[in-house]
Amino acid sequence: MAIEVEAPQAISNTPSSEIREGKTTPAKLGTTLCTLLPRTHGGWIVRRICLFYCVAPLSGAFGGLLATGLLEIEARGCNGWPFIFFVEGASTIVFGIITIFFLPHTPSHCKFLTEEERYVAIHRMRLNYQGDSSVANIDNEKLSWHWVKFAVFNWNTWSLSLYFFAVITPICSSSLFLHTIITALGYTRVNASLLTIPPNIGAFISVILATSVSEHFKLRGIFMLICASIAIIGYIMLITISRPHIQYGGTFLVAAGSFACPPVAMGWLANNTSPHYVRASASGLQIGLANIAAFIATFTYIAANAPRYVEVVLGGY
């Protein structure tokens, strides 16, 4: 994307980028955490998904700061936006390579564990998920399509997946177009880039706070509803108030409320599905619907609906 200079080239390259990305990391994360951690410690899973997921708004804040500087670069007739793709893409590749060496497939592959610790980890997995006191080689576990169908055709999977779809759509649209929304309030391009940072910082804090309180009270659904309601209040502020500073405050509520929902939903589904292939299939379906949400989000905040984007907000995006 960084070397494309014309719109058709960039557009043609986008599908291949999405196919390579696939949004598979959250699904694999939930599956891995539930496999390695005891089921009696479900809060561990939600907390760890929270720690992983809260990096999303944090990266949005850092991206806003980075974009502010990179947009000022002009080289070889190019504006600053290609440099944003280059820098962010290069950092993703570097960290992706690093994780190959530090993210084990199973406890038996953990080089940072002692032999005794590997034995205990595998033994705990067998007791938790299969009721088997023996420590067999879990690497030889075979795929059973029975469990895949069990997960895909389960109403619990679909209810949490559809909820996940509903909250990911505004997350993706607000993340993609937060700069556009703030610019429509009357701010300059550079100032709008800087003003995307505080809402993302607020979302980062909200994710940690919501998941911590949810785990403290051992409740999931009620906090998912509360967080979604906070986002709705933010959208109402955007379309019913004409004062830019108050509308900008609404973006805080949108970001804080919407970003706090997914880690709770991901942990709730992953921690309540078993055995391994049911969990993997259910989490895969959940994240698969999120991909569709990301696709829909790209067509939301178009110029025809500027500057208030009332139609988009009323549509729940």
Rounded Cα gap, residues 11 and 5, in angstroms: 11
Give the number of domains in the chain: 1
Among 95, 96, 78, smallest CA distance to 10 is for 78
What is the per-residue pLDDT for 18?
Answer: 44
Given the structure tokens 């299969």, which residue do they identify? 130
- Domain limits for position 82: 7-103+142-314
Q: Point out the least confidently predicted range of 69-78, 119-128, 211-220.
A: 69-78
In a domain, 116, yes or no: no
Spatial contact of 215 and 46, defined as CB atoms under 8 Å apart: yes
| Assigned token pair, 205 | 């804090």
In a domain, 243, yes or no: yes
In a domain, 82, yes or no: yes
Given the structure tokens 């494309």, which residue do they identify? 4
Residue 233: pLDDT band (50, 70, 90) is: very high
What is the per-residue pLDDT for 19?
Answer: 41
Reported as half-sphere exposure (CB side, CA atoms, 13 A), residue 19 has a value of 5
Q: Which residue has the higher pLDDT, 223 or 11?
A: 223
What is the per-residue pLDDT for 121?
Answer: 79
What is the per-residue pLDDT for 131?
Answer: 46
Longest dimension (CA), the chain: 66
What is the per-residue pLDDT for 270?
Answer: 82
Given the structure tokens 């409320």, which residue do they identify? 257
Helical spans, DSSP H, in the chain: 7-21, 25-36, 42-53, 55-70, 81-102, 115-129, 145-152, 155-184, 189-195, 197-217, 221-240, 244-259, 261-271, 276-297, 310-314
In a domain, 73, yes or no: yes
In a domain, 124, yes or no: no
Q: CATH no. for residue 211?
A: 1.20.1250
In a domain, 119, yes or no: no
| pTM of the complete model beyond 0.85 | no
Spatial contact of 143 and 127, defined as CB atoms under 8 Å apart: no
What is the per-residue pLDDT for 39?
Answer: 56
Residue 303: pLDDT band (50, 70, 90) is: confident
**pLDDT single digits (tens) 24-72:** 455 556 566 666 665 555 556 788 888 888 888 888 888 777 777 776 7
In a domain, 204, yes or no: yes
In a domain, 109, yes or no: no
